[in-house]
Amino acid sequence: MFEMLSYDFMQRAFIAGLFIATLASISGTFVVLKRYSLMSETLAHSALVGVAIGLVAGYNPLWVAVVISILSAWLIEYLRSSFSIYSDAVLSIMLSGSLALAVIIVSLGGAFNNSLFSYLFGSILSVSNADVYTIVGFGSISLAFLLLFSKELYFIAYDEEVAKTSGIKVKFLNFLLVTVVAIIIALSIRVVGSLLIGALMVIPTVAALQYRVGFRNTMFIALFFALFSVIFGMSLSYYFSLPSGATIVLSVIAIFIISLLINKK
Amino acid sequence: MSLKSEIPIFEVKQLSFRVREQLILENVSFEIFSGEYIAIIGPNGGGKTTLIRLLLNLEKQTSGEIKIFGKKLKDFKEWYKIGYVPQRATLVDETFPATVEDIVKMGRVARRGIFAGMSSEDKAKVHDAMQKMDILDLKDKMVGTLSGGQRQRVMIARALASSPKILILDEPNTGVDMVSQQRFYGLLGKLNKEENITILFITHDIGVIADDIGRLFTINRKATICNDPKKLLSCDEVSDLYGIPAHSLANHKHEH
Ligand SMILES: Nc1ncnc2c1ncn2[C@@H]1O[C@H](COP(=O)(O)OP(=O)(O)OP(=O)(O)O)[C@@H](O)[C@H]1O
Ligand SMILES: [Mg+2]
């Protein structure tokens, strides 16, 4: 099993993957509790627009994805807090709109190729040194934010209005949270792929919730599940030459099903 | 007692609230002073929750003025002085990952600042609040597994943990049986008398609490202040308000 770690590309993939598992599951706890699950899916598709622009224009796709993903997160949060439109409807519109836009950009630019495929479903072979630096750099800042404000974010997830009347800066923190989630999603598409990252963000927490434990323990369990699925999924990807996003997501779904069965009343 | 010389906790003048063409509150004025115990009653849709949301800056009034501890709402910073339990607070999502202690600790979050962990003072306040609400033995239980009456005490404990000067409760008794309600009102009365916490709460059970409360506000678009609730059942306003004879109000139980 450890033979695969003798390859440089696998070391890079593991560093990036474990970092992403940590980021996705911790931010995912807040995403799920705030019922933002569909939003993470939408942002993943917006990130794809960034990837498309990057591939066609020759910029680093990951960087462009981060920028586009943040912009659409702000747009969604603005629409959510300022207009009373059904927020899931807004999200589906933006989700399919982004995908359509990404496909058109890629088609016009003639970039429909394997490279695009790896951004859709993740690939352990394609993680470069620059990607690892980008992921660790942006990722550390995001993680620091999540941990610093975890008690406030938890309170807001529990009851936004009560948090506000206790003097917590709800609007500001909501914007920061969606910004961080946007960054994490954009960073993750290298390893997990933009069509599959939503699952890695949401499912570990949903699985952890089945154990009916307090906040801290729920977050730890989700983190553990995410780390485990990434290690297991990337190993499968290595041995069977499968897209890593797909193997990671199937691993985490298996954990979810087991958790459901164990905790069935 | 010369109430008028101190700064009221709330000072409300000519407050009106309109949504599109509908006038929901009209020219409401009152003051609430430290140490008071006030109940708000009124029919469904009368504007009780709206009034409280305006007081808490969750809604913006159409006209009129609200002062809180002598300050305009937008200049007020010391929100920990207010403990708020919203309507339907006890209907928490069954799967929300929170122990009783997790919830009560939220009461300290805004006072802790970003970098701070729980200080020994924070821990003491959380412990105190749980003790006062008699939920210490439930502290590691998941909130979703508690009964309505137990949850209600958890919500109040959260509000108490920030050491508030005033507790604002919106129909805290929804879905709670009679025995638990009696016990609950006992606890509220004790907080008011022994801790000098001002209490403002919305209820439909005026018959049950008439003995304890100091003043009664009735809200049905307009507000009427009944200063002697002992004579509650003869307050004509109350009868007019609900449009039924007052004596049947005494036994009125509101269940959802
Ligand atoms: N932001 C708003 N937009 C539209 N209508 C509103 C808004 N806020 C309040 N209302 C309306 O104002 C009226 C009063 O509502 P409110 O919730 O204050 O009543 P209430 O006295 O608390 O009733 P209940 O006893 O049922 O809790 C209702 O008709 C409600 O629909
Ligand atoms: Mg109400």
Residue B139 lies in a domain: no
Q: Which ligand is nearest to the CA of B204?
A: 1
Q: Which domain holds residue B214?
A: 10-92+165-255
The CATH number linked to A238 is 1.10.3470.10
**Tens digits of pLDDT across chain B (256 residues):** 445 568 999 999 999 999 988 999 999 999 999 999 999 988 899 999 999 999 999 999 999 999 999 999 989 999 999 999 988 766 677 889 999 999 999 999 988 877 777 889 999 999 999 999 889 999 999 999 998 888 888 999 999 999 999 999 998 877 677 777 778 888 888 899 999 999 999 988 766 665 678 888 888 888 888 777 666 555 555 656 565 444 444 444 343 3
How many structural domains are present in chain A?
1
Containing structural domain, residue A182 = 4-260
Residue B225 lies in a domain: yes
Residue A265 lies in a domain: no
Q: Residues of A with CB below 8 A from B109's CB?
A: 151-152, 155, 163, 166, 168
Whether A53 is in a domain gets the answer: yes
Residue B134 within a domain? no
Q: Whole-prediction pTM value?
A: 0.89
Return the residue in A30, A82, A159 with the most chain B beta carbons within 10 A, the one to mutate for interface testing. Answer: A159
Q: Which of B84, B95, B96 sits opposite A162 (nearest CB)?
A: B84
Residues from chain A contacting residue B58 (CB–CB below 8 Å) = 161, 164-165
- Kindly state whether residue A230 falls inside one of the protein's structural domains: yes
Q: Could you give phi then psi for residue B167, rounded to 5 degrees?
A: -110, 130
Smallest Cα distance from B1 to chain A, Å: 31
B15, B48, B201, B255: residue to mutate for ligand 1 pocket, most atoms within 8 A of CB: B48
Count the domains in chain B: 1
ipTM of the complex: 0.87
CATH number at residue B176: 3.40.50.300
Is B133 a member of any domain?
Answer: no
User: Does some domain include residue B232?
Assistant: yes
| Ligand 1 contact via B23 beta carbon (within 6 Å) | no
